């Protein structure tokens, strides 16, 4: 018997069905040499008859994006630190985004003198951080088959050229990106990434003290590690992944036992889950389940 197709991972996306019916969204792994620090590449293309606002409950990751939106002008590149609240992006007309999602803790080696909290909540021109991430590079990545022309997003586009250009860019072939920075393996970055991965995968990690015990660190040392390498506090990471789980269930089931789910996620009671969900997503869990997210 053939195995059932694996369900697309939509954790963090508010109303994933609404988004995925409007855009072409793909994820790809980077070159093996980059996977220590880069989790994935992500590509989005859209051609919309009317505007659509997409909402994301952020992951604890820095993103580097090369983007073109016909309503915003020429292609450009941005560095986005971890948003502290719900991230909203309005999509209009035609456009493309070619993104690099760094692993939690994985961006620090590329800016070793700067604590990760420096980037949190900020959106910066990528060129101000990495000179090679300029408009020329953005045009290469958003229009790989015809850099001089506006992209044609009406039909499917082979992502191979964009992926190869991203690999080349991050490996240093285009403008000595990594050669100039020469990030050395950093065991603290690896530890931070491993701890965030544990929080995401293991629901028994419910409190900061649980995570500190796993790392054999004091709570204060754990907080310093996350400040320097992740950019947000360990409590923030635990809360966000709880909300990701709740969001996933609320969007796929109509009869969620919220009291049981609250207990499974480590909340003292259902009211605490409802408060955190509503404060993060903007609607209550039951309203989200009924309406597939905010309008």
In a structure prediction context, what are the per-residue pLDDT tens digits for the chain, which is 295 residues long? Answer: 334 334 467 889 998 989 999 999 999 999 998 888 899 999 999 999 999 999 999 999 999 999 999 888 899 999 999 999 999 999 999 999 999 999 998 888 778 789 999 999 999 999 888 887 888 888 888 874 444 444 443 333 567 888 888 888 887 633 344 444 555 667 888 899 999 999 999 988 989 999 999 999 999 999 999 999 999 999 999 999 999 988 888 877 667 888 888 888 888 889 999 999 999 998 888 888 877 544 4
Contact between 74 and 162 under an 8 Å Cβ cutoff? The reply is no
pLDDT given at position 6: 43
**Where do the DSSP E strands lie in 57-178?**
63-69, 73-80, 87-91, 94-102, 123-125
* Residue 275 Cα to chain centre, angstroms: 23
Which residue has 């008859």 as its token pair? 49
Q: Confirm if 133 and 63 have CB atoms less than 8 A apart.
A: no
Q: What's residue 154's pLDDT?
A: 33
Strand order through the sheet with 38-47: 23-28, 38-47, 94-102, 63-69, 73-80, 123-125
Structure tokens at 142: 């958003």
The answer to whether residues 155 and 96 touch, using CB atoms and an 8 Å cutoff, is no
Spatial separation of the C-alpha atoms in residues 190 and 219, rounded to whole Å? 18
User: Taking Cα atoms as reference points, which of 107, 178, 177, 93 lies closest to residue 137?
Assistant: 177
**Sheet containing 87-91: which strands, arranged edge to edge?**
13-14, 52-56, 87-91
DSSP 73: E
Domain boundaries, the chain: 13-181, 187-291
CATH of the structural domain 187-291, one choice from 3.20.20.70, 1.10.10.60, 3.30.2130.30, 3.40.50.11310: 1.10.10.60
Residue 72's closest CA among 147, 150, 132? 150
Neighbours of 27 (CB within 10 A): 13
What is this structure's pTM? 0.85
Cβ neighbours for 104, distance < 8 A, ≥ 6 positions apart: 59, 60, 61, 192, 193, 196, 197, 229, 230, 237
pLDDT at 254: 66
How far apart CA 38 and CA 291 sit, in angstroms, is 34
pLDDT, position 164: 86
Contact 115, 182 (CB under 8 A): no
Contact indicator for 283, 294 with CB cutoff of 8 Å: yes
Give dist(CA 51, CA 229) in Å, integer. Answer: 36
Q: How far is Cα 262 from Cα 250, in angstroms, rounded to an integer?
A: 12
Helix axes 234-252, 270-281, angle to 10 degrees: 90
- pLDDT of 189 reads 87
Give the list of residues 6+ apart from residue 132 with CB closer than 8 angstroms, or none.
Answer: 169, 174, 175, 176, 177
């Amino acid at each position: 018997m053939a195995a059932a197709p694996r369900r697309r991972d939509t954790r963090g996306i508010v109303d994933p069905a609404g988004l995925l019916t409007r855009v072409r969204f793909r994820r790809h792994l980077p070159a093996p040499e980059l996977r220590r620090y880069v989790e994935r590449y992500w590509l989005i293309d859209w051609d919309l008859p009317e505007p659509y606002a997409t909402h994301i409950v952020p992951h604890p990751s820095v993103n580097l994006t090369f983007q073109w939106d016909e309503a915003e002008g020429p292609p450009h590149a941005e560095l986005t630190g971890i948003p502290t609240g719900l991230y909203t992006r309005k999509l209009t007309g035609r456009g493309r985004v070619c993104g690099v999602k760094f692993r939690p803790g994985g961006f620090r080696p590329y800016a070793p003198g700067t604590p990760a909290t420096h980037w949190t909540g900020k959106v910066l021109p990528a060129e101000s951080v990495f000179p090679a991430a300029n408009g020329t590079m953005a045009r290469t990545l958003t229009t790989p088959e015809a850099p001089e022309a506006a992209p044609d997003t009406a039909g499917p586009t082979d992502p191979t050229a964009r992926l190869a250009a991203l690999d080349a860019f991050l490996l240093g072939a285009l403008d000595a990106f990594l050669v100039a920075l020469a990030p050395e393996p950093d065991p603290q970055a690896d530890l931070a990434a491993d701890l965030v991965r544990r929080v995401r995968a293991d629901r028994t990690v419910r409190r900061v003290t649980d995570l500190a015990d796993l790392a054999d660190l004091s709570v204060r040392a754990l907080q310093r590690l996350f400040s320097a390498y992740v950019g947000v506090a360990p409590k923030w990471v635990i809360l966000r992944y709880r909300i990701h789980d709740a969001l996933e269930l609320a969007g796929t089931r109509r009869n969620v036992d919220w009291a049981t789910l609250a207990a499974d996620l480590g909340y003292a009671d259902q009211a605490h889950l409802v408060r955190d969900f509503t404060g993060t997503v903007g609607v209550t869990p039951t309203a989200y389940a009924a309406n597939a997210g905010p309008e």
